[in-house]
Structures are given as C-alpha cells and as structure tokens.
Amino acid sequence: MRVATWNVNSITARLPRLLAWLESTGTDVLCIQETKTGEEGFPAAELRELGYESAVNATGRWNGVALVSRVGLEDVVKGLPGGPDYEGVQEPRAISATCGPLRLWSVYVPNGREVGHDHYGYKLSWFEALRAAVAADAAGQRPFAVLGDFNVAPTDADVWDPAVFEGQTHVTPAERAALTALCEAGLSDVMPRPLKYDHPFTYWDYRQLCFPKNRGMRIDLVYGNKPFTTAVKDSYVDREERKGKGASDHAPVVVDLEV
C-alpha cells in the first residue's frame, strides 16, 4: 500500500500535475496541504474519475487540507479537536480519516512567521493540541500516522545551512521539542530509513535558484505509531515532482507499506 503527503501550494494551480502524479505512482492515499481553495472549489469530480474519494477541510484562499483515497474513506474528522483559534478563527489545518487498514491525519502546521510573533505562540499551542488529539490512536494497535507540512526541520541536518536559519522559526528548540513530544506520545519519524538521496529535503523556496542549488529544508514529515512504522518497506522524497514548470515548492513524500 502506498501513502504520501504533498503540500501542493494551490490545488487549482497544481491539478494537472497532481492527476498525472497519482496515475503514474499508483498512490493509494494522498494527504494534501495548502489547497488554497474552498471545499466547493476542490476538484473532487476529477479525482473521482481516477477512482479517488475526497475528504476536504478548506474555507478559502489560504490553508486547506484534504485526504484522497482509493482504498476507502471513513470516519472523517475535520479540524483539530481542542485546537486553538487564531484571530478568532479555527483555521482549516487538519483532517483525519480511516483509509482501509490505516488511520491517517493530514496536517498543515502553522508557519509561526517569526519568533515572538503571536503566530509563533499559536504554532506551539497548535502542536500541544495535536499531541493531545492523537495520543489515543498513537498508542493503539491500528497502523496510524500523521502526515503533512509540519513547518519544522527536525534536526540541523534537515536544513541546507544551519547558520542561515539560526534564530528563525522552523529550527527553534521549542518547535523541535514539539516534535519530540509527538514521539513521546508514541509516534516516530519514518524517514531515517535507507534514502534515495543524501539530503532528502522536501521544500525549496522559489527564489534565488534554491532548488537547483539544493538549498532546501525537510519540513514535510510522516510520523507513525509502531504498527505503522513496522509495516514501512520504503520511504522517499519524490524530487522529480519538484522539477519543471508549474511545480509546487514542496515535493511529495512517499511511504510504501505492507499491510
């Protein structure tokens, strides 16, 4: 079974590439972030033609997450239970569902903007709510994973130059501690397995030739419980999908399981 996560940076702009990618890779479940469209604008009909059901949590031009599956889509929960508001609104940053034998979350963690900003505090509070919300499933016997754009690089090895990011969001001790808290809840990063690239970054800024120079970050992550990680047979970043005209600034992260 193949599952993946991909911040598409506008599903409308990326739709032709998305449909072609699903067909060519045989992905069974895709967690999508940053749809940048409301639910009414989500291309459920086009995905249905390829055999995928869709579950969407999106309200407009910013944020938005989805799960698309060709192995079933049940018990959908939109939003982060107990999650904080930002400026009086609970943003559409999480959705979960049962997809065949798996329970999966697609998450788009707040960016944080800059250390000390209200959005940074919101990000840390959001992580606290995520840990509480997933704790029961993380400790369970069913394969379970949280996939998405976490907007945190777990270690200094996950950015192209740690000195460039010093003192900025995505690498602060508090943000990394939030990932550690997820691990303490029973989840672990699936990517420390044999990799197809020495530096498996998942995000490269559009500016300053960051992708050709491989000046990237690994911020799109897959955290699974023990039944999930035990079933993982391969995991990789699909760098090829970051190439060419009309690409997202993120690449898909793919996980193959025997379940």
Task: Tell me the whole-structure pTM to 2 decimals.
Answer: 0.96
Residue where the block lists tokens 């999930």: 228
Give the per-residue pLDDT at 196. Answer: 52
Residues of the chain with pLDDT > 90, as a percent, come to 95
- How confident is the model at residue 194, as a pLDDT? 46
Q: Collapsing DSSP states into helix, strand and coil, what is residue 231?
A: helix
Q: What is the DSSP letter of 81?
A: T
| C-alpha–C-alpha distance, residues 214 and 159, integer Å | 10
Q: How far apart are the C-alpha atoms of 98 and 86, rounded to whole Å?
A: 28
d(CA 48, CA 27): 14
Alpha helix locations (H) across 3-117? Answer: 11-25, 44-49
pLDDT of residue 166: 92
Sign of CA dihedral 164, 247, 221, 237: negative
Q: Delineate the domains of the chain, giving CATH numbers in brackets.
A: 2-257 (3.60.10.10)
Cα–Cα dist 189/229, whole Å: 8
Average pLDDT of span 118-124: 97
Task: Give 195-248 pLDDT, tens digit per residue.
Answer: 555 668 999 999 999 999 999 999 999 999 999 999 999 999 999 999 999 999
Which 3 state secondary structure label does DSSP give 96? strand
pLDDT band at 77 (very low <50, low <70, confident <90, very high): very high
Q: What is the pLDDT of residues 137-164, one digit of tens each?
A: 999 999 999 999 999 999 999 999 999 9
pLDDT at 65 over 50: yes
